Each structure stands twice: as C-alpha cells, then as structure tokens.
C-alpha cells in the first residue's frame, strides 16, 4: 500500500498568515494527488486535484504543488473560514486508495 | 445539479450487518465510478471500496477481509454498500463519493452515521 504522511498533524495560525502543509507518499504517485478540506459537522470538500488544479469555486488563496512523492498545500492568507482539517489523498493507479492522516488548522 | 443522497443513520450490534444506500442524480450515472469512504472518531479518512457503475465490478481494501460488498442498481441510479460482521471499530460516518478522472472525489453524499454498540 502507498503510505501518505502529512505534516504537521496540527498547527495554530492567525488570520492573514501563510500556511503550508506537506504530504509525502511512500512511492511515486506522479501528480495523482488530491487535497480535501473538512470542517466539523460538515461534508469534506475537494480543494485541489492533480496536485495543482484548483477545483471550481475554491478561492485562489489555496494552491497545490509537487509531483512524485512530495506535495504541498499552501494557503496564502488564512481566512476565518479556513480553520479546518486538511487531508491529502493519492489517486495513482494502485489500490487501495489512501489518505494522509490529516492536518488540523486551529486559531 | 449533481446530488448524492444517502440513507439514514443506523445503530447495529456487533456481528450484525448494515446496508447503506446512495441515490445519485443530476449526471450520467454510468460515466463515473462511485467510491465509499469513512471517517471514524479520532481517525482520518479511510477508503472502503469502489464500484464501476458501467459493468458493476468492485474493488475493496484487503483490510476489510471480505466484509464489504458494493452493488449498484442502474435503473434507479443507486449504489448500495453493505458491511458485515460489524465490530466497534466500524463505527464511523460513511460517505458515498463520485470519482473524477484523477480519482478525485468531487461530489459527496451527506454521510451516514453507523454506530456499532452492544
């Protein structure tokens, strides 16, 4: 199985901060890497797919980069609505699909 | 608009089975795979399995040891997921999700809470 390791597991930040979350795959997943946001009591939502393509409707302060085994999710100016848990997920042509352990972003 | 509407919450005893349905609408059913993922308390997201809505073929993680079964009904554009021999660790919110070309989950059901408790 492809293991996905996110870091940090949690972080504290302030409105306006630049936030960076990393995701490392245990083997090459090319650019088949997706990012999700999950707020308590809500349904998770897709932010970025294919490592760097913004899902329609997602604010441009979110961006993704990387390929192979190392990926990054960046929020350029954290907004109050962004406090949530973020997950990466590999979608490479190898099952099982796997997720990172999540990064909780707190105030 | 694309919608995935799941059946309601379930409470089951250990050893029992649970079946959750996912009614899809607003798009061509056979054009997208449907997956199931779960989110357990204090744990992250976990992939539960997938079904090809075209031919009905399925794939599951080995970690479930054959306890998961996913089926589809093309006449009603509904997908069903059944988990058997339930254990307490199966307590989670189960989501059906539509998968895009990058195996990215672009639309999610509202979630179904399955509680396993004696």
Distance from C-alpha of A8 to C-alpha of A71, rounded to nearest angstrom: 13
Note whether B44 contacts A: Cβ–Cβ < 8 A: yes
Distance from C-alpha of A83 to C-alpha of A104, rounded to nearest angstrom: 8
Q: How far is A102 from chain B (nearest CA, A)?
A: 6
How do residues A54-99 score in pLDDT, each as one tens digit? 999 999 999 999 999 999 999 999 999 999 999 999 998 778 999 9
Scan for tokens 């936030």, then name that residue: A19
Tell which of B5, B105, B106, B107 to mutate to test the A interface (max A CBs under 10 Å). B105
B43: DSSP letter: S
Nearest residue to B79 via CA among B8, B4, B18: B4
Sequential DSSP letters for A63-100? EEEEETTEEEEEESS--GGG-SEEEEEE-SSSSSPEE-
Instruction: Dig out the tokens for A86 from the structure.
Output: 């973020």
Find residue B38's DSSP bridge partners.
Answer: B46, B94
Distance from C-alpha of B18 to C-alpha of B27, rounded to nearest angstrom: 27
Distance from C-alpha of B51 to C-alpha of A6, rounded to nearest angstrom: 28
- What integer pLDDT is reported at residue B102 of this predicted model? 83
Looking at the predicted structure, is the pLDDT value of residue B14 above 90? yes
Looking at the predicted structure, is the pLDDT value of residue A107 above 90? no
- What integer pLDDT is reported at residue B101 of this predicted model? 84
Q: Answer yes or no: do A43 and B111 touch at CB < 8 A.
A: yes
Q: Which of B37, B62, B106 sits opposite A55 (nearest CB)?
A: B106
* 3-state class (DSSP) for residue B10: strand
How do residues A6-61 score in pLDDT, each as one tens digit? 999 999 999 999 999 999 999 999 999 999 999 989 999 999 999 999 999 999 99
How do residues B31-63 score in pLDDT, each as one tens digit? 999 999 999 988 899 999 999 999 999 999 999
């Amino acid at each position: 199985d492809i293991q996905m390791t996110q870091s940090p597991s949690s972080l504290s930040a302030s409105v306006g901060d630049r936030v960076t979350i990393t995701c490392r795959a245990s083997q090459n997943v090319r650019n088949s890497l997706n990012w999700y946001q999950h707020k308590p009591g809500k349904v998770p939502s897709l932010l970025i797919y294919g490592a760097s393509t913004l899902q329609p409707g997602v604010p441009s302060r979110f961006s993704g980069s990387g390929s192979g085994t190392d990926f990054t999710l960046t929020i350029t100016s954290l907004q109050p609505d962004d406090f949530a848990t973020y997950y990466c997920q590999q979608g490479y042509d190898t099952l099982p699909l796997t997720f990172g352990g999540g990064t909780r972003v707190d105030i | 608009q694309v919608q995935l509407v799941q059946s309601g919450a379930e409470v089951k005893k250990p050893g029992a089975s649970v079946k959750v349905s996912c009614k899809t609408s607003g798009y061509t059913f056979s054009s997208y795979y449907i997956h199931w993922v779960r989110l357990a308390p204090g744990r992250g997201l976990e992939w539960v399995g997938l079904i090809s809505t075209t031919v009905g073929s399925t794939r599951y993680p080995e970690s479930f040891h054959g306890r998961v079964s996913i089926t589809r009904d093309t006449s009603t554009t509904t997908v069903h997921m059944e988990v058997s021999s339930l254990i307490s660790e199966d307590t989670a919110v189960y989501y059906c999700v539509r998968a895009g070309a990058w195996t990215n989950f672009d639309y999610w059901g509202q979630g179904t809470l399955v509680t396993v408790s004696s």
